[in-house]
């Protein structure tokens, strides 16, 4: 986690004498005292019905003995649960007192954070006690929310990100949120608000027409994007400017013919790849960085289910994929793939896994693809690109050492930026060997 060093440690401020914190303490004192009274007074507020002198046990009546024991157990569990609530209240009180006294939290208490967590951020990062105590499945008596460790390095941004009305409408800050994700705070911790709904939301087209239909403009919120309608996104391919997956929304353009024709070189066709295996045995897979989902659409037409991972880089890629009736997955290439070992029949990736990714991260990604592919599963590396000198020195050895065997392998020059750049493409079909 070297990146944490790059961020200046935030000065910690404690509200030493603020009226607000004093009031808070008075409130906490009063409420925790009230709670104690509440628990142990004869008002019997917990709704726990203790029998007059404890549970009455009739030894001669096994049925009622069992009932009595069972009801005491339930009552104890209930009491335990409520005491836990008062405990956390007490903990908050002590923390608050500590602040007023100017106690600085020790680094151990901070658990890698720069500041003590509070509010929604604290709740989101848990852990939380399990209501029924220890369970062997979890090996714990607490449930830990699963969140990006790197979140700890960006506490100020995270605090801003977690500032929302619980149960209300989420702020529209997609770009900010996605950047946090890309800095390793993935998955993100915002859970308890409603995403803004588009006014006049229009239902998607029915399948299969949905696969090749541009959705209505009113199906999404446009705030995060430069374009404000689909006409703009569709035309972007022909307009000047550099955008990620620039012509991917133009379904009548280049998208229409992708993967349909095999040129015997670096352009493989889906049908040629599927023919490598008995019919129907390539059924499920993943397209990493699949743009607007056209690979999944073509596979769907061949009864293959493909999940498409995509980032929303200045375009509603995830919404667009979904509107086509395909499954979008909003995860970055740095994320461990959310699939179990030896499960997928095929993984495809075009133009994404390339030399822009740090070598170590790329190697982790390739090993992860190997992990999720089933034995005999295929990795279709589609137009991987790098500089000529890197091909044989770095990437070919890397691909080989992961353990794949080659079925098809085609390297060629990438000429769009000029031959003098000495850029190369590699398309390959790789198999995860069977034992």
Contacts for 137 with CB less than 8 Å, ≥ 6 apart: none
Q: Give least dist CB 242 to ligand NAG, A.
A: 17
Phi, psi values for residue 191, rounded to 5°: -135, -30
Contacts (CB under 6 A) with ligand NAG, residues 299-328: 302-303
* Phi and psi angles of residue 381, each rounded to the nearest 5 degrees, phi first: -90, 110
Q: Tell me which of 391, 399, 429, 430 binds ligand NAG, using CB under 6 A.
A: 391
Q: Would you give the end-to-end CA distance of the chain in angstroms? A: 36
Beta-strand pair 284-288/344-350? parallel
Between residues 160 and 422, which has the closer beta carbon with respect to ligand NAG? 422
Shortest distance, position 217 Cβ to ligand NAG, whole Å: 7
Nearer residue to ligand NAG within complex by CB, 419 or 435: 419
Q: Which C-beta is closer to ligand NAG: that of 25 or that of 232?
A: 232
CB distance 179 to 218 below 8 Å: no
**51 vs 392 by CB, closer to ligand NAG:** 392
424 in contact with ligand NAG (CB under 6 A):
yes
| Site for ligand NAG contains 272 (CB under 6 A) | no
Q: What's the closest the beta carbon of residue 386 comes to ligand NAG, in angstroms?
A: 9
Minimum distance of ligand NAG from residue 208's CB (angstroms): 11
| Least Cβ distance, residue 66 to ligand NAG (angstroms) | 6
Question: In Å, how far are 45, 52, 70, 75 from 65, measured between CA atoms?
Answer: 26, 16, 8, 15
> At closest approach, how far in Å is the CB of 230 from ligand NAG?
8
- 281 counts as binding ligand NAG under rule CB under 6 A: no
Query: Which of 70, 85, 135, 218 forms a contact with ligand NAG (CB under 6 A)?
Result: 70
Choice between 18 and 305, CB closer to ligand NAG: 305
Among 214, 388, 394, 407, which residue interacts with ligand NAG (rule: CB under 6 A)? 388
Residues 6+ apart with CB under 8 A from 370: 379, 402, 403, 404, 432
Distance CA 201, CA 221 (A): 10
User: Which residues, 172 to 231, sit near ligand NAG by CB under 6 A?
Assistant: 227-229, 231
| CB 388 to ligand NAG: min, Å | 4
Rank residues 79 and 227 by Cβ distance to ligand NAG and give the closer one: 227
* CB 419, min distance to ligand NAG, A: 13
379 C-beta neighbours (distance < 10 Å), count = 26
The correct pick among 93, 172, 232, 402 for binding ligand NAG (CB under 6 A) is 232
What is the contact surface with ligand NAG in residues (CB under 6 A)? 70, 74, 227-229, 231-232, 302-303, 388, 391-392, 424
């Amino acid at each position: 986690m070297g990146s944490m060093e790059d961020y200046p440690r935030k000065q910690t401020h404690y509200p030493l004498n603020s009226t607000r914190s004093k009031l808070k303490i008075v409130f906490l004192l009063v409420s925790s005292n009230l709670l104690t009274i509440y628990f142990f007074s004869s008002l019997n507020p917990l709704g726990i019905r203790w029998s007059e002198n404890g549970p009455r046990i009739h030894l001669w009546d096994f049925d009622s003995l069992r009932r009595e024991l069972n009801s005491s157990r339930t009552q104890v569990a209930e009491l335990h649960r409520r005491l836990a609530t008062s405990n956390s209240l007490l903990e908050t009180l002590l923390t608050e007192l500590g602040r007023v006294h100017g106690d600085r939290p020790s680094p151990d208490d901070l658990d890698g954070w720069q500041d003590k967590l509070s509010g929604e951020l604290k709740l989101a990062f848990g852990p939380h006690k399990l209501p029924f105590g220890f369970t062997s499945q979890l090996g714990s008596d607490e449930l830990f929310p699963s969140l990006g460790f790197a979140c700890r390095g960006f506490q100020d941004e995270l605090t801003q990100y977690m500032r929302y009305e619980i149960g209300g409408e989420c702020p529209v800050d997609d770009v900010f949120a996605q950047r946090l994700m890309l800095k390793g705070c993935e998955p993100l911790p915002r859970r308890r608000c409603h995403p803004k709904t588009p006014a006049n939301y229009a239902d998607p087209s029915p399948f299969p027409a949905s696969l090749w239909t541009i959705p209505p403009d009113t199906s999404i919120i446009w705030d995060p994007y430069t374009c404000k309608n689909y006409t703009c996104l569709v035309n972007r391919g022909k307009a000047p400017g550099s955008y990620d997956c620039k012509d991917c929304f133009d379904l009548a353009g280049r998208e229409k013919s992708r993967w349909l024709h095999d040129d015997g070189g670096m352009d493989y066709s889906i049908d040629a790849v599927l023919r490598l295996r008995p019919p129907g045995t390539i059924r499920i897979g993943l397209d990493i960085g699949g743009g607007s989902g056209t690979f999944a659409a073509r596979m769907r037409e061949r009864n293959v289910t493909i999940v498409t991972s995509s980032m929303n880089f200045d375009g509603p890629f995830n919404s667009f994929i979904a509107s086509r009736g395909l499954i979008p997955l909003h995860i970055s290439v740095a994320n461990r793939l959310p699939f179990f070992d030896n499960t997928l029949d095929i993984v495809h990736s075009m133009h994404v896994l390339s030399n822009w990714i740090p070598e170590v991260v790329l190697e982790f990604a390739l090993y992860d693809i190997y992990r999720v592919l089933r034995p005999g599963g295929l990795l279709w590396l589609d137009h991987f690109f790098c500089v000529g000198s890197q091909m044989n020195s770095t990437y070919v050895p890397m691909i080989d050492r992961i353990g794949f065997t080659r079925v098809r392998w085609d390297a060629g020059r990438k000429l769009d930026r000029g031959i003098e750049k000495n850029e190369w493409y590699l398309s390959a079909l790789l198999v995860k060997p069977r034992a």
